[in-house]
Each structure stands twice: as C-alpha cells, then as structure tokens.
Amino acid sequence: MPMYTGLARVARTTGYPVVEVKNWKGRGHGKMRGCKTIVPHHTVGPTTGNYPSLRVVRDGHSTLPGPLSQLGIGRDGTIYVIGAGVAYHAGKVRKTAYSNPYAIGIEAENTGVGEPWPHAQLDSYVKLCRALIDEFKLPVGAVLGHKEICAPVGRKIDPAFIEPQMTMAEFRGYVRRGYYSAPVADVKPAGTTKPKPKPARKAWPAAALPVTGGHTTASHAAWVKLLADVGYKDKSLTTAMQRWLRGLGYYKGIIEADRGQAPVFGPMLVTALQRFLRAKGFYSRAYRIDAKRGTATVKGEIRYINSQTKHYK
C-alpha cells in the first residue's frame, strides 16, 4: 500500500504556499493502508511564529516519535508537507476507518485556547480538506475533527475554533462549498448595514400636535394642509393665510405675492389671525389683540388646527 507522495501536488491546488519539508516523501511509520478520513487538529504550540510546531510535528517528542501528521498549516495559510506514510496523530479512535493507517492528519498552528484564527489560515484549512477529499474521492463527512473521532469521546478538544467560533459541522459546510468566509458578524464593511427605519411620524391630523408656544415643521405642515384643503394653495403659507383670512373678512392688508413681492407676515395679518382665533374661541380675552405673534397666539393657532381633525375623520 502507498506512500502518499502526491500530497504536495494536492496541497498546491489550494493556491496557498506549500513548503515541502526535506525527505517528506520517505517519512512515515510505514505505509498507509488507505485514506478514509481527513482529521483536522490544532498544535497547541508556541504563540509566535508562522509554524513553530514544525519540528515537533516532524520529529515527535520523548514519548511519541514523529511524524505526528502528514500535513501542517501555518498561521498565514502556508501548507507544510511533512510525511507521506503513517503519522501518529489519531491515537485511540472509535472506528478503524479513523485510525492512523487510514487517516491523514493536518496539524494547524493554534494554541487552542482562544487564539484567533487568521482568515487566510482557515481558508487554507478548508481548501486543503476540500482538495484531499476530492483527491481521495471521499464525502465531506469524511472530514472529522480529532475531537470527533477520539475514544473515549471527550479525550480531545481539537480542533477548537473559538475565535471565530465554529462547529465542525460549520467547518464541513465551508469544505463542501470549497472556501472559508468569515461569519457576517466579523465582516461589516461601513455603509452596508441597513439604516434603521425611522419610526413613522404620524402627520396631522392623524395625531394631534403638541400645543407649544412655537411653531414646528409639523404645525407649519398642518397649516399648509388645512388651508390647501379649503382652496388656498400658495407657494408661501403667509400668502395662503392672507387670502384665507381676507376671504373670511379679517384681513384688510395687501397680498404681496400678487404684486411680485415677497410675502410678509406683518402686523395686519397677525391682527387678523388673532381676531379670527378669538372669534373661534382659541384666543381668550385675557390676551390682547396686539399684532404680535407670541406664545398665546401660536398656542391658539395650534389648538385651532387640532380642532379641525373633526373634518378628517
């Protein structure tokens, strides 16, 4: 049975840099008996460097001789091809198909305790798994994390995708698709978030205007609507109000707009408005007809406007 001397070729199809570790084609604890499982791991190695675990993965340690996996992935996505025969990565497993003679191991550099996985490394990881299942004609379900194949279950936690958080099922989802992309929450380019819909402001007369001593955009709009609805549609509210109050017999001044002049909300118009409001009961005798459009006048206007909602129901 084979030494998998095609692994470097397979790794190159990912598009990521491939490092062929010296003598990799002859490295292994004997020949593979087949390839039924692809097993991702994390190294639990040093926190710095691109692939500081290379020596351990290649040579092993005091109690376990290397190679400890056929493939490795550095933090920048570089793929290290370390062995072509059996590697000691799986340990005790739940099925023969998961055991070292049938399983290719990938040791990706990560401390396993929350170190964020770089995007390139995850993408390389996904693409390498995809390339391997394509090479060995395996289903996506043959990609099984060490934590999934180990016996007893719970003996291993790798690979731990903590940041970004990812389950093995999600990892296999990316393998099925063929590339990794960060979860939406991690990539939020400016300008692509939907603007919050503004709460619909109910226009008069759907909602009564607050009675305040000053006019607002809403009260202005209400006046415009009210006058337009009784036939006074002008470019300027002042002009419309002059025409309206003249029609009712209150306004005796000029209408500037008819003379090509800018409309003026002058004393004669305010006086007419105050008289009108008083006649309708919205400007009491406590206030003088003083030709000044002060707080009492504006409050009277708004109360009058609100009283007109009766015509809109």
Instruction: Copy the structure tokens of residue 13.
Output: 């199809």
- CB of 144 or CB of 269, closer to Zn ion: 144
DSSP element (H, E) containing 29: none
Strands 79-81, 71-73: pairing kind:
antiparallel
* Shortest Cβ 47–Zn ion spacing (Å): 18
Q: Minimum distance from CB of 114 to Zn ion (Å)?
A: 17
Q: How far is the CB of 45 from Zn ion (least distance, A)?
A: 12
Q: Which is nearer to Zn ion, 146 or 299 (CB)?
A: 146
Q: Going by DSSP bridges, is the β-strand pair 37-42/103-108 parallel, antiparallel, or unpaired?
A: parallel
Site for Zn ion in 21-60 (CB under 5 A): 41
Q: If binding is defined by CB under 5 A, does position 146 make contact with Zn ion? A: yes
Report if residue 147 touches Zn ion, rule: CB under 5 A.
no
Q: Which of residues 249-288 bind Zn ion (CB under 5 A)?
A: none
Q: What is the chain's length? A: 313
Kindly calculate the radius of gyration of the chain based on its CA atoms and give it in whole angstroms. Answer: 40
- 149-168 binders of Zn ion (CB under 5 A): 158
Phi, psi of 39 (to 5 degrees): -120, 105
Q: How many helices (H) and strands (E) does the chain have?
A: 9, 7
**Least separation in angstroms between CB 116 and Zn ion:** 19
**Segment lying near Zn ion (by CB under 5 A), choices 139-147, 200-208, 210-218, 239-247:** 139-147
Options 62-70, 144-152, 289-297, 305-313: segment touching Zn ion (CB under 5 A): 144-152
C-beta of 24: minimal distance to Zn ion in Å? 20
Report the alpha-carbon distance of residue 75 to residue 110 in Å, rounded: 8
Provide DSSP, 162-197.
Answer: TTTT--HHHHHHHHHHTS----GGG---TT-SPPPP
Of 127 and 146, the one with the shorter C-beta distance to Zn ion is: 146
Residues at the interface with Zn ion (CB under 5 A): 41, 146, 158
